[in-house]
Structure 1
Amino acid sequence: MANAAQTVLGGPDFLRLLARLSDGAMPATSPVLTDRLGQWVDWSRAVALSTALGGRVPAAADAGEAMDDLLADCEQAHASLLASIRDDAEAERLLDLAEAAATPTFASLRQRYRVLQQAIQTATGRLRGRLRDQLLRASPELARLAEIDAVMEQTLSPREHSLLAIAPAVLGTRFDRVHGQPGWRTAFRHDMRSLLLAELQLRFHPIKGLLAALRSH
């Protein structure tokens, strides 16, 4: 269950990268999740989590989609998002325009970054929901894991969203700082892609945890 509960808030690589790109203006390590969780769980969600942890084990539902199909879809989604980040021709074009502009801005690149962020969030959210549906059908014990994961996602998503929303602002500040320096386009392109790849990795943490639970069943 610990793997399934991993979230972006536990991702030191992502946070260290943000800290580096902001020249240390952000903390390099995140608060310990267990130290903060009690502050983030509101009363209704605390009750829901307590019920999921200690309540009656749900009955397994009928068999759902084939495990092989679900695994293939997870792998395909990850590969597709990975390719979109690594081969983002639109971002290259916008960098060319920024370099040629008299007063370059980060606005278009910020919008492109957010488009890719949304694609990651949408794809991973859909996969996580499908995996929970499969857990509900696998066994009573895995059905409880699905309930816990759902409550954890609802509880931590606002904090996750707030943290990830920092990334475009950090990149915007870095854009202004490095623009015009020798080799700035290559360096900035690397920074933008690295941050998106780190977010992709973190978004897939709970998916990998749920997959591991299903495989072990």
Structure 2
Amino acid sequence: MANAVQPVLGGPDFLRLLARLSDGATPATSPALTDRLGQWVDWSRAVALSAALDGRLPEPAEAAETLDDLLADCTQAEASLLASLNEDAEAERLLDLAEAAATANFASLRQRYLVLQRAMQTATGRLRGRLRDQLVQKAPELARLAEIDAVMEQTLSPREQALLATAPAVLGARFERVHGQPGWRAPFRNDMRSLLLAELELRFHPIQGLLAALRPH
């Protein structure tokens, strides 16, 4: 039907990019967040969340590291990862090989994507844990936030990782569709970089939230 209104995919840029790169194969709508949380939080997680919300909290302890050092490490880690994704010479080399090969495939590029994903996961996971430690040491109300964040990470992390794991497959299917077309190389390189940057943004969302709670207002 002409001029039909297309459904808009809400949520993070990562989801919108997945939908675009899969040519609309990714669902354009999803259940409300509260409905999804109700499905994901089983009784054991619900008990842990209740304890984090209402349980007794430890007294603040002496900080193992200064807040300034932690803030600097967060900034440096994000900048380093961002530089790696924006200036990935190895991906460029692999694309050169793919363009020259008679029987190109996505395997090497997929491995490169996974290496960058693991780097992001490792760096952001460590920072998130250190930020929670800092919250616990600051004040009781911040210690409660740290416990809630820990429970939510345990609850949502498997779902998040399952979603992020679809990215290489979507990108691989995109590679198969465009490889060999005139001028395919630069747009595909941009697609790969854009998806990685969107994932980096997604992984830093909880870190930015914890940082906001720690910074003086």
TM-score interval, smaller chain = over 0.9
1:36 to 1:214, Cα distance in 2 relative to 1, 3 A: same
Shift of 1:33: 2.1
Tell me the residue number matched to 1:97. Answer: 97
1:29 to 1:206, Cα distance in 2 relative to 1, 3 A: farther
Tell me the residue number matched to 2:6. Answer: none
Distance of 1:73 and 1:31 partners within structure 2: 37
Shift of 1:195: 0.2
Shift of 1:17: 0.5
Q: TM-score scaled by structure 1? A: 0.92
Q: TM-score scaled by structure 2? A: 0.92
Structure 2, unmatched stretches of 5+, are 1-9
Tell me the residue number matched to 1:154. Answer: 154
Distance of 1:124 and 1:30 partners within structure 2: 26
Tell me the residue number matched to 1:192. Answer: 192
Q: Report SS of the residue matched to 1:16.
A: helix
**Superposed structure 1 runs of 4+ greater than 4 Å apart:** none
Tell me the residue number matched to 1:51. Answer: 51
Shift of 1:11: 4.1
Distance of 2:155 and 2:35 partners within structure 1: 15
Shift of 1:61: 1.8
Q: Is the 8 A contact 1:12 1:29 kept in 2?
A: no
Tell me the residue number matched to 2:110. Answer: 110
Shift of 1:39: 1.0
Q: Is the 8 A contact 1:136 1:142 kept in 2?
A: yes
Distance of 1:86 and 1:14 partners within structure 2: 16
Which residues in structure 2 correspond to 1:141-180 (within 5 Å)? 141-180=141-180
Q: Is the 8 A contact 1:178 1:184 kept in 2?
A: yes
Q: Is the 8 A contact 1:15 1:28 kept in 2?
A: no
Distance of 1:109 and 1:144 partners within structure 2: 42
Tell me the residue number matched to 1:75. Answer: 75
Q: Which has the larger radius of gyration?
A: 2
The reply on whether 1:64 has 2:71 as its aligned counterpart is no
Question: What is the number of equivalent residue pairs in this alignment?
Answer: 208
Which residues in structure 2 correspond to 1:199-210 (within 5 Å)? 199-210=199-210
Q: Report SS of the residue matched to 1:192.
A: helix
1:185 is matched by which residue type in structure 2?
Answer: R
Relative to structure 2, which stretch is displaced further, 40-49 or 205-214? Answer: 40-49
1:81-105 CA distance string (max 9 Å, x none): 0011011111011111111111110
Q: Is the 8 A contact 2:22 2:173 kept in 1?
A: yes
Tell me the residue number matched to 2:21. Answer: 21
Instruction: Give the alignment's Cα RMSD to 1 decimal.
Output: 1.3
Shift of 1:28: 3.4
Q: Is the 8 A contact 1:16 1:29 kept in 2?
A: no
Structure 1, unmatched stretches of 5+, are 1-9
Give the number of the structure with larger relative contact order, counting CA–CA contacts within 8 Å between residues 6 or more apart: 1
Q: Is the 8 A contact 2:12 2:202 kept in 1?
A: no
Q: Is the 8 A contact 1:57 1:140 kept in 2?
A: yes
1:113-147 CA distance string (max 9 Å, x none): 00000000000000000000000000000000000
1:28-52 CA distance string (max 9 Å, x none): 3554322111211122211110111
